[in-house]
Amino acid sequence: MNAKAPLPKKVNKSEIQPRKMDFRFDPAIPRYWFADDQFKTILLTALSCTFPEGERFFVRSVRHYQKQIEDPLLREQVKGFIGQEAHHGNEHDAFNDFMEARGVPTKKVDAFVNRGMRFMAKHLSPQRQLAKTCALEHFTAMLAELILENPEFLDGMDERMLPLWLWHAVEESEHKAVAFDVYQEQVDNYWVRTSEMAFTTVEFIGFTIFHYMQLRRGMDDPTDWPSVRNGFNWLLGKPGWLRKLGKSYIAYYKRDFHPSKRDSTFLRKQGLRKLARLLDRPELEA
């Protein structure tokens, strides 16, 4: 993987700045790049398939309110949020293309997600679309900070793949409060926020499983059932990474919830130091 593009000049007056990576994926990277494990690799690939269209949906839902935002700092943070999410979509497009070339049918999932996003844009109110963005941003922030706090989560991942996931985790944590703050300023409806989270939770789990199955059905090798069993244990048994998110997930339903109540500054700085070493780009620590 190569990511030598320089950091851009500041594009807004906030701490949230896009970092353009321009990743290139080494053709020698194996199909199962996560610990040589079918389940883990395809699970993360299924998530990646949802990112490009999902990130664009997030941007549109926030941009709908952009001109109405009253807080000058929040207006600048929104610019950073939009820039970061745009880069995430582009880099995961590149990753998904790489996996498609490895015989993993990512384009099928991407097309399905695209249809789903267009359906929601047509049938959900702007308030619901923003509430769904807040819910999904909470999921991505929880997963991002799980990765940043527990580097062992990525044990066995091909080192050429690590920068993509580490960079994405840092920036998801960095802008985790932006969509929420826009929602609170422009909508501020507790019922819409929490009911959309409940519905989105079912969607998130159901579609992640469905996209995993879509990918596996389109591949040319048999299912590695020991990998699947070990994968479920990895998520729900021991170490049970998903179980560890329970407290953070439930917190979202509190009336006084705010993403920044958990200060993750140290985790992000730690992640950026590791990213700088992996890419030989000391400026990333700035």
DSSP 252-281: TTSTT--GGGS--HHHHHHHHHHHHHHHT-
- Whether the Cβ atoms of residue 186 and residue 130 lie closer than 8 Å to each other: yes
CA distance 142 to 172: 9
User: Could you tell me if residue 21 is inside a domain?
Assistant: no
- Whether the Cβ atoms of residue 49 and residue 211 lie closer than 8 Å to each other: yes
Instruction: Encode 251-282: b = buried (16+ Cβ within 10 Å), e = exposed.
Output: bbeeeebebeeeebeebbeebbebbbebbebe
User: Could you tell me if residue 3 is inside a domain?
Assistant: no
Which domain, by its residues, includes 175?
38-285
User: Could you tell me if residue 241 is inside a domain?
Assistant: yes
User: Could you tell me if residue 33 is inside a domain?
Assistant: no
User: Could you tell me if residue 26 is inside a domain?
Assistant: no
- Whether the Cβ atoms of residue 66 and residue 79 lie closer than 8 Å to each other: no
CA distance 40 to 157: 9
User: Could you tell me if residue 266 is inside a domain?
Assistant: yes
Predicted local confidence at residue 3, as pLDDT:
52
Predicted local confidence at residue 8, as pLDDT:
55
Q: Is the dihedral of CA 210, 24, 170, 89 positive or negative?
A: negative
Q: What is the band of 45 on the pLDDT scale with cuts at 50, 70, 90?
A: very high
> What value does the mean pLDDT take over residues 106-125?
96
> Could you give the angle at which helices 106-123 and 72-101 cross, rounded to 10 degrees?
150
User: Could you tell me if residue 28 is inside a domain?
Assistant: no
Q: Average pLDDT of the chain?
A: 95
Predicted local confidence at residue 278, as pLDDT:
94
Predicted local confidence at residue 13, as pLDDT:
84
Predicted local confidence at residue 10, as pLDDT:
78
Q: How many domains does the chain have?
A: 1
Q: Does the pLDDT at position 32 exceed 60?
A: yes
Predicted local confidence at residue 229, as pLDDT:
97
pLDDT digits (tens, 9 = 90+) for 199-234: 999 999 999 999 999 999 999 999 999 999 999 999
Quick count: other Cβ atoms within 10 Å of Cβ 224? 16
> What value does the mean pLDDT take over residues 117-138?
97
- Whether the Cβ atoms of residue 62 and residue 179 lie closer than 8 Å to each other: yes
pLDDT more than 90, % of the chain = 93
User: Could you tell me if residue 10 is inside a domain?
Assistant: no
Predicted local confidence at residue 283, as pLDDT:
87
Map residue 5 onto helix, strand or coil: coil
pLDDT digits (tens, 9 = 90+) for 143-195: 999 999 999 999 999 999 999 999 999 999 999 999 999 999 999 999 999 99
This prediction's pTM: 0.94
Lowest mean pLDDT among 51-55, 90-94, 155-159, 278-282: 278-282
- Whether the Cβ atoms of residue 148 and residue 14 lie closer than 8 Å to each other: no
